[in-house]
Every structure is written in C-alpha cells, then in structure tokens.
Amino acid sequence: MAKMVRKTYLLTPGPAPVPQEILLAGAQETIHHRTPQYLAIQEKALEGLKYLFQTEKRVFTLLSSGTGAMEAAVANLLSPGEKAIVVVGGKFGERWKEICENYGVVVHEIPIEWGDAVEPWQIEKALEESPDAKAIFTTLSETSTGAVTDLKAIAEITRNRDVLLVTDGISGLLAQPLKMDEWGIDVVISGSQKSWMMPPGIAFIALSDRAMEAVKNSRNHRYYFDLRAYDKSYPDSPYTPGINLMYQLAKSVEMLKEEGVENIWERHRILGDATRAAVKALGLELFAKKPGNVLTAVKVPEGVDGKKLVSFMRDNWGVTVAGGQGHLKGKIIRIAHLGWVSPFDTITAISALEMALDKFGYKVELGAGVRAAEEVFRREDI
C-alpha cells in the first residue's frame, strides 16, 4: 500500500485549532509585566473582551483552564452553608456540583438526563423549593453531550429575583449567542482553548454589579482566585500573568472583533447545521435533544466500537474528533465546529467518518454525508 501524505485536522471541543497569526503572536519576545508597554497590551485585550462577552463590566483573566474560573466563581460568590441550585445534565454540570460541595455549599440539584437541557419551569420549581438559594449554576453548552441551554429564558426568571445566575460558557461563549448584560446574566466564564482560537492557559470571568457585591460578602477561603485582588489591580494583574498568552489573546480579540460577534455566532451555526445534516444523511442519530453549535454528538451505530472508531480516524487519517465521556465512552462521538474551523474542515471530518464507518462494517453510501453538508453550505451561499 502506498504511503500517503498525512495532514492533521483538529475537530475536538477543546483544544480547538489555532490560526498561525495567533501562534506567531505568542512567539514574540517576552517583556516584563510590570511595565507600561505590557500593560497597554493587556488593557486593550481586556477592553475587547467586554464586547465579546456583550458586557460593560470588567472581564478578569485567570492563568488556568476554564475549571479554575468555575472554582473562582463558587469560592467568591458563596459562603460555606449557603445554598445553590445546580443543573446537572452532563460531565460539566457534575463539575459545578463537585466544586460547590468542596466549598461547603449546600446543593439543590436539578438532575437532567444526559443529552437533554434544563427547561425554565424546572428552574422555577427549584426556586420554589429552595427560595433561599443564593445562586443558580448552569452550563451554556454541555460539552459532554452537545446540548445547549436556553439561558435567555432562564435569565428572564432570575434577573428580578435575589439569586445570581452563573453560567459555564467555557465552550459555549461565541459559539452560541449570549448577551450578558441585555439578558441579565450575573456571571459568565470561558476558556481560551475554545472559540477564542488560542492554546489552553487563560480562563475568563465576568461579573455583574450584584455578583461583585456577593464577592465582597463571601466568607469562603480563597487566595490566588480571590477576585477582590483582580478587581483592585484591574487592568493590571495581581500576580504574574501569562505574558505570551496575553499577546495571543490580544491578537485573538483583534481578529474576533473584526469579524463581529453576530458573524461569529452565525459561522458556528452554519457549521453545526451542515454537520447535523450530514449525520442524518448517513442514517445516524444525534445524541442531544437540543443540539447546539459547539459540537455535534453522534450515537455510534450498534456493532461499532466508538473508541476504536475515534482512534482509527485520528491515527490513520489525522482527523481528531472526541469520544464520549463518563458512561458515554464508546457510545458517542463528538465532532466540534469550534473556533478556527472552516467548511472544508467539516467536510473532511464527515468524509473521514463515512470511510471509517464503512471500514468498521457499518454500510453507508459514501459521499452522502458530504453531499448533505455541501447542500447546507450552498444554501447559505458561503
């Protein structure tokens, strides 16, 4: 068998592909962070984040993955013994619950079947049952299942009540529409390795005025993630920042602002529509009942080993998609449309999936998924 040129295609929901301009921005000379030259770079990047979060409030950067911002949210908003409502419908809803419990927060759990999304009436019911809850922890896009939460509808319930609405937007922010101030969301977090088209390493957290008031009143122990320190030093950093990562963030923000947030949302929607159309054309089932535009979760056909399918696509053809998490390992695959992904990256992923399924004995009409995706792209006139 002839040895072919092998290229790589990254279609996982984090880390996502990084464009060359952002990679090269990180290769610039490292300068001292306590200088006006560095602070000017950071200040410009932070100001641009406000537009992308759709907020007038400060957006703080933490030198961590997105989980660090999740922990910061819990540690800063609540005190031990206080109550929080936590939506648990996947791996990352579970993470909210675990962090809350580790900080002594009493959890009122809203259990959601994996693949489903919480409904506004369930939030209403939980608030009736726990009227003393200080915060509601939600997930914009549950990355483990591909399901998306209707945060706008939930915010209509919470914004006039004495409860904070917190959302994990680590993968969902920019891929899904979110208007923090207009909708009335109190805390939004995200991570650099997602729609921001960056390597991992920076987490983001933005807080409303009433959320900042809660930060000042919290009796929880915290030091490195004490948001009071970040607020006091803003736009500077209280501790050593990721200097070269900040160069990359400045370039990312510049590129994203130039594209425009509505166009970014639309780009992800089109890629999601094309992927979902392709999956259905291959006779496969979507896993999420309310799929979002971060990724498409696909049920692996009976008789096919999902773990081997993912490994084969990666190791033989350089196409990396994600497998399932938790009890879904081997049962679903997740094809991301996140960040710096083009229509032809999507078509490549669908083509690889078609050929891999055929290789593993699931008979498909080769080209059927690709054709369906191309029809979406033609209809959208990209």
CA–CA separation, 227 and 203 (whole Å)? 13
Domains present along the chain, CATH in parentheses? 9-16+261-380 (3.90.1150.10), 31-259 (3.40.640.10)
- Whether the CB-CB separation of 105 and 84 falls below 8 Å is answered with yes
φ, ψ dihedrals at 211, nearest 5°? -70, -40
Question: In 209-362, where do the E strands start and end?
Answer: 295-299, 319-320, 322-323, 332-336
What's the pLDDT score for residue 67? 98
- Sign for the CA dihedral angle at 356, 362, 365, 370 comes to negative
CA–CA separation, 382 and 343 (whole Å)? 9
What's the pLDDT score for residue 183? 98
Q: Is residue 84 helix, strand or coil?
A: strand
CA–CA separation, 308 and 313 (whole Å)? 9
**Residue 97 half-sphere exposure, CB side, CA atoms within 13 Å?**
15
pTM: 0.96
> Edge-to-edge, what's the strand order for the sheet holding 295-299?
295-299, 332-336, 322-323
Ranges of residues in the chain whose predicted pLDDT is under 70: 1
Return left, alpha or beta for 35; rule: phi > 0 is left, psi -120 to 50 is alpha, else beta: beta
Single out the residue of 221, 197, 193, 180 nearest to residue 71, CA to CA.
221
φ, ψ dihedrals at 102, nearest 5°? -70, -25
What's the pLDDT score for residue 1? 64
Question: In 51-140, where do the E strands start and end?
Answer: 59-62, 83-88, 106-111, 135-139
Q: Tokens for 29? A: 């000379």
φ, ψ dihedrals at 302, nearest 5°? -60, 135
